[in-house]
């Protein structure tokens, strides 16, 4: 069970802060709810999730040790590039739905490497891939930044350096 002030990952909204735990009556049914907001939203969006549904929609932020492992994974090549856009989108969507940060990092790694390659050739990354890369890096890099007490720009710089083969000492 989470407590007020905890940071969690909430499905499509990314990192959220729990502001309250309260009882609400909806459709005549009284239940306890987590009340939270995305940390980037500054209370413009409030999300309420029944406490018994948190395992479906919410999960903990990555811890420091996992964040270091995920960061180090960018030294290795990502996944195999699927040429068919529809199949690639299905494959990558399935990876995101697993919530497995190491697999998501491998996918991000692949997308970043492909982006570098196509831009080197004067092209752009396929729009669907670009959106997926933007959304997943936004959440994962923020999560790692919080866990490693860094900012997102530092995480991005480290990741790009690792992908480009630079020798980087990871000390946190």
- In 3D space, the residue among 106, 107, 30 whose CA is nearest the CA of residue 75 turns out to be 106
Per-residue pLDDT tens digits for 122-154: 999 999 999 999 999 999 999 999 999 999 999
Is the torsion defined by CA of 131, 133, 134, 140 positive or negative? positive
Instruction: For 70-82, write each residue's pLDDT tens digit.
Output: 999 999 988 889 9
Sign of the Cα torsion 107, 108, 113, 117 reads positive
Whole-structure pTM value: 0.84
Where do the domains of the chain lie, and which CATH numbers do they carry?
7-60 (2.40.10.170), 64-163 (1.20.58.1290)
How many C-beta atoms lie closer than 10 Å to residue 44's C-beta? 8
d(C-alpha 105, C-alpha 141), whole Å: 10
Query: For every one of its 172 residues, what pLDDT tens digit does the chain have, with 9 covering 90 and above?
Result: 899 999 999 877 889 999 999 999 888 889 999 999 998 876 688 998 889 877 778 888 999 999 999 999 999 988 889 999 999 999 999 999 888 999 999 999 999 999 999 999 999 999 999 999 999 999 999 999 999 999 999 999 999 999 988 877 766 6
* Phi, psi of 20, rounded to the nearest 5 degrees: -160, 160
Kindly give the interhelix angle for 127-148 and 101-120, rounded to the nearest 10 degrees: 130
């Amino acid at each position: 069970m989470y407590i007020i002030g905890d940071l969690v990952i909430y499905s499509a909204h990314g990192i959220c802060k729990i502001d309250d735990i309260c009882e609400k009556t909806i459709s005549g049914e009284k239940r306890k709810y987590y009340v939270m907001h995305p940390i980037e939203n500054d209370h413009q969006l409030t999300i309420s999730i029944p406490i018994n549904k948190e395992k479906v929609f919410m999960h903990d932020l990555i811890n420091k040790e996992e964040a270091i492992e995920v960061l180090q994974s960018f030294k290795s090549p990502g996944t195999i590039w699927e040429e068919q856009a529809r199949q690639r989108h299905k494959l990558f969507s399935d990876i995101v739905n697993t919530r497995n940060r190491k697999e998501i990092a491998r996918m991000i790694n692949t997308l970043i490497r492909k982006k570098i390659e196509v831009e080197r050739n004067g092209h752009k990354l396929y729009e669907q891939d670009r959106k997926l890369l933007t959304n997943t890096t936004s959440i994962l890099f923020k999560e790692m930044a919080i866990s490693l007490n860094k900012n997102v720009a530092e995480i991005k710089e480290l990741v790009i350096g690792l992908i480009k083969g630079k020798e980087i000492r990871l000390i946190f």
